[in-house]
Amino acid sequence: MTDSVAGLDPCVHCGFCLEACPTYVVTGDEADSPRGRIVLMQAAARGDLPITDEKLAYHLDRCLGCRACESACPSGVEYGPALEHTREALAKAHGVPWVARLVLAVMAEPRLRRPALRASRLLRPIARRLAGRSRLGFSFGMLAASKMTLDGKTEGRKDGRTEGIGEELPPYRRTALPPGTAVVFRGCIMDDLFSHVHDATERTLVVNGVNLLSVPQQGCCGALHAHAGLLDDARALARQNVMAFRQHADATVVVNAAGCGATLKDYGTLLQGDPIEEAAIAFAARVRDVTEVLAERGPRPGAAVPMKVAVDPPCHLQHAQRVTDQPLKMLEAIPALQVCSPANAAHCCGGAGVYSVIEPGLAQQVLANKLESLAETGADAVATANPGCVMQIGAGILASRKTLPVVHPVEFLDLSYRRAGYYGGGSDP
């Protein structure tokens, strides 16, 4: 286990990470800070602290895994990989909470996930009315928040696709850029609860000259399993995806969920020593966030969307993938859209995969700081590029009985393009 935490060695305990850590900001407990957790992980790796120690598990379980400490660290400490490997040892010693195992098992198995999540979509109207601050009420709020709308024309249908848009992409006005080829990574939660975001992603890519291909054998990326310490399960899912995407080896893999993107880009490390390691490295090199692709291609300007949007970047986009400017550049293509950032944009919202299920109390405290910061912006909507963040922030807003929509940034560009008539046919302007 010592080698797995070697990335922590550069830590000089300077404390730059303290105020970057959402859990330390809330608790003020050194053991709930990156610096404190590094000491605990190193002690466990050396054998000075048994992996069965309850306090070790307690403080590491309370870590969001947001990796904001890595962005704040001047010494280049690699906190995230060490946390995942230590959690793997903890999972073997203590087990994983049954509710987390249930969620992860459902996400990994399409035959369980698809009917469960597709049935959940039918409950969104009821869930919105039942949203609240209690543990059950917050769960209803998360479900309701999985589909918020910016425009009356985008009201969802029961099958999860977008009203007024057929199964095939409609005629569009083509960009003058040379064509690119891409495959959209559909994942698990994104595919079954956020298919409207996939639709928006595909439409905006097509308008910007990207030819889309399909990979039907793809599945869950394994991010939630890796964060929970179930690395063997994560590796199995990674192998499945690497092999599935080999059929389009030259195509860019476009991902619109920050947590998935961070894990997909790390497949080479996750499958280190595996027989398909070389293929995993090649796959990871092709993965790009949708905002990276669109920003690189322009993107094509659309029609005016006169709104003020607070952009709250997901932790695994800004801290893990280090993608920060591209979402803002993408939104610059929308006339009249006013973009702002909350004061604590670098802090986690408290979603962090299944964290809000396992640590609901601390997750709510972290979220409260985020909601306060977002309210101070006076924005008409919130944009964040990860399903867990959309659901966490949206549930918090619904619990407050407010109507501020929380959506993926690409949905703004999609709305702009629809208003510009790009989806209704016509010749090139």
Helix (H) or strand (E) holding 258: helix 258-264
**272 plus 351 within the same structural domain:** no
If phi > 0 it is left, if psi is from -120 to 50 it is alpha, else beta; for residue 106 that is alpha
C-beta of residue 384 within 8 angstroms of C-beta of residue 314: yes
Q: Cα–Cα distances in Å, from 402 out to 94, 160, 201, 399, 408?
A: 40, 24, 27, 8, 19
Question: pLDDT tens digits, residue range 232-283?
Answer: 999 999 999 999 999 898 899 999 999 999 999 999 999 999 999 999 999 9
Cα–Cα distance for residue pair 425/259, rounded to 1 Å: 35
In the beta sheet, which residues pair with residue 212? 182
What's the domain range around 70? 3-94
pTM of the model: 0.88
**8 plus 38 within the same structural domain:** yes
- Tell me how many domains the chain contains: 3
- Mean pLDDT to the nearest integer, 34-62: 92
**337 plus 251 within the same structural domain:** no
**308 plus 285 within the same structural domain:** no
Residue 132 lies in a domain: yes
Q: Residue 17 maps to which CATH number?
A: 1.10.1060.10
pLDDT at res. 1: 56
pLDDT at res. 402: 84
Residue 118 lies in a domain: no
- Mean pLDDT to the nearest integer, 76-93: 90
Give the residue from 248, 270, 295 where a domain finishes: 295
Residue 372 lies in a domain: yes
If phi > 0 it is left, if psi is from -120 to 50 it is alpha, else beta; for residue 160 that is left
Give the chain's length: 429
C-beta of residue 364 within 8 angstroms of C-beta of residue 289: no
**242 plus 331 within the same structural domain:** no
Question: pLDDT tens digits, residue range 363-414?
Answer: 989 999 999 999 999 999 999 999 999 999 999 999 988 888 999 999 999 9
**184 plus 289 within the same structural domain:** yes
